[in-house]
Amino acid sequence: MEPNEEVNPRPAPFSFLHVLFASLIILLSGELLYHNFPQLRLLLWGEPTASETSLKANATRPHIVFILLDDLGWNDVSFHGYDEMRTVNIDRLAAEGVILNSFYAQYVCSPSRAALMTGKYPIRHELHHGVIQVRHRLGLDPSVKILPQLLRELGYDTHAVGKWHLGHFQTRYLPTNRGFDTFFGFYGPGIEHHNHTTGDTFDALDLWDNDRPARNYQGQHITKVLTEVAVKHISNHDPTKPMFLYFSHANLFQDVVGQSPPVDQEYYDRFPNIKHEGRRKHAATIAMIDDSVGAVMEALKRNNMLSNSIVVVMSDNGGAGEEYIIRPQFKFYSSNWPLRGAKGTQWEGGIRVATVVWSPLLEKPGRVSNELHHMCDWLPTFFRLAGGKAERLPEDLDGFDIWDSISKGTPSPRTEMFIQADPNFGDYAYRWKQYKVVHYETPSVYHPRPDQWMEPSGGLQSSMVRDTPGALRCGNVETVPCEPLVKPCLFDVVSDPCERQNVAKQFPGIVRKIMDKIRKFNESYSRVVKPPLDPRSDYSLHGDLVQPWDD
């Protein structure tokens, strides 16, 4: 499909019985009828009411609902063409909104969140080297004004639900001191899904209701808990006042040796046809996330907010499959097929992320966009939509206002993108126009790099639905070897998004040009040295809680 090619227009609404019948067919058969028969797309939220339509006509300062998924793989959503996963609600957003098929985040969690919140590449704040661990004396510089602070100055109510992961060793780093009116969630990289604990032995509680530990949710799956809080924020909101809801989900499914079952049985039972146990549990977790997205949309509808809302659903980085070995007790089952690599790498599978934008305010919905966009573009985009003037933003932002590119299908203002320059890990990557360089100076010291193309755990048990608008077309091309530890590799990721054909020999001048750009970044910033774990952060000194320790 060519960039911005339009797909089927929005279907007419169905009766409740039609919707129920279509839902049962999808649930029971496992067939991805949604993609094969666009007339069966589920209009679960109905058409706008007359009052909502009038609101849309005079829409200013829209509600912004940003749903960030943790480690979602490219191949973990059915709108990308793989019918093993069934993401009915997210698929509906994709069908009625815009699929952003060339949207980039960072390779792991904290750097992506820093880019989102600051509108700058994370190297600007020395947060590009790995993630912030629970006991690190490290965080996003509190002197930097971030997205919720900017939106609150423009009259927005601001709520953060879920994962923070931008520092908590001092109270000034906490979300409610960074522009959020409320926070319900956890400070660190991830928690056990039912006990809401973290640490090497999972004995420290990391679930907070503003400044109070949230102890009353033990035994409840974290996705259900967070969804309940997000829905409550929406339901209690005055729809005439703009709202920014940052809903950052917990880590997707992972097997943790010795811990409670990570998924609820009702979701596990939905996928009897998936024979690989880990992949089945992963599908169950994603189905729970998908239901959460549906619940948020229902809440917006009930409170007459839907017609003046912008909803973004995306991942913070690529998924982690069984090839991703970070600790022996963790097992992952995500899939980025057919992209190369995974979370923790600079390959497309680590940084090109599943992204959907839905809104009645879109001028040209029902499209797939292949325009180049980056996580740091959201801040200037949301600031403009909220009524802010561009001259009020810092001049040194790396992000661009991409709303016209998303809404109207115009070319992206972005033509290049810094990806990584980290001498500690030896990772270097940059995209200029359609070309991308990947270069590694040293073998990974963090964990083995998943550098190849990994099918889902258990293999490709289901067929790729080739006519799905969001599916990538990689073609049956001969692989031209790439040895990034020996010399930089170059790919045309527009024609070869799966990075199979290294064209460095054909275009040495382009390789030199891009490597010069990388060197400028590398020389402009000092080598990041992660602090050791602070002994004062020991959970036993703080009532077995993850909380600030250095005030």
pLDDT at 396: 93
Q: How confident is the model at residue 66 (pLDDT cuts 50, 70, 90)?
A: very high
Residue for token digits 């024979």?
275
For 411-461, give the DSSP string: PPS--EEEEEEETTTTEEEEEETTEEEEEESS--SSS----S--PPTT---
State pLDDT tens for residues 216-268.
999 999 999 999 999 999 999 999 999 999 999 998 866 655 555 668 899 99
The Cα 329–Cα 175 span in angstroms is 30
pLDDT at 299: 99
pLDDT at 83: 78
Task: Determine if residue 453 is left, alpha or beta; phi over 0 gives left, psi from -120 to 50 gives alpha, anything else beta.
Answer: beta
Task: Measure Cα distances from 376 to 112, 121, 149, 369, 381 in Å.
Answer: 8, 7, 16, 18, 9
Residue that wins the pLDDT comparison between 417 and 202:
417
Give me the chain's average pLDDT, please. Answer: 85
pLDDT at 461: 53
pLDDT at 52: 46
Give 431's contacts (C-beta < 8 A, 6+ positions apart): 104, 372, 416, 417, 419, 437, 493
Q: Considering 109, 376, 489, 498, which one is annotated as catalytic?
A: 109
Q: Check if 63 is active-site.
A: no
State pLDDT tens for residues 183-206.
999 999 999 899 999 976 778 999
Q: Helices (DSSP H) in 211-347: which residue ranges?
A: 222-235, 265-268, 277-302
pLDDT at 54: 38
Cα dihedral across residues 227, 233, 236, 239: positive or negative: negative
Min mean pLDDT across 62-66, 127-131, 358-362, 411-415 is at 127-131
State pLDDT tens for residues 6-24.
333 333 333 333 333 334 3
pLDDT at 41: 36
Q: Check if 165 is active-site.
A: yes
Q: What percent of the chain clears pLDDT 90, i.e. is strictly above it?
A: 65
Q: How confident is the model at residue 89 (pLDDT cuts 50, 70, 90)?
A: very high
For 48-72, give the DSSP string: PPHHHHHHHHT--S-EEEEEEEES-
Residue that wins the pLDDT comparison between 320 and 442:
320
Domains of the chain (ranges; CATH) run: 66-419 (3.40.720.10)
Task: Determine if residue 196 is left, alpha or beta; phi over 0 gives left, psi from -120 to 50 gives alpha, anything else beta.
Answer: left
pLDDT at 422: 87
Min mean pLDDT across 246-260, 270-284, 521-535 is at 246-260
Q: Which among 25-39, 403-417, 436-450 has the top mean pLDDT?
A: 403-417
Q: How confident is the model at residue 476 (pLDDT cuts 50, 70, 90)?
A: confident
* pTM score, whole prediction: 0.89
Min mean pLDDT across 76-85, 91-100, 208-217 is at 76-85
pLDDT at 131: 84
Q: Helices (DSSP H) in 30-163: which residue ranges?
A: 33-36, 50-57, 88-96, 109-118, 147-153
Residue that wins the pLDDT comparison between 529 and 157:
157
Q: Considering 165, 193, 194, 249, which one is annotated as catalytic?
A: 165
Is the per-residue pLDDT at 464 higher than 60?
A: no
Residue that wins the pLDDT comparison between 311 and 344:
311
- Please check whether residue 407 is in contact with residue 425, taking contact to mean a CB–CB distance below 8 angstroms: no
What integer is the mean pLDDT of 33-44? 36
pLDDT at 145: 97
Q: What percent of the chain clears pLDDT 70, i.e. is strictly above it?
A: 81
State pLDDT tens for residues 344-395.
899 999 999 999 999 999 999 999 999 999 999 999 999 999 999 999 999 9
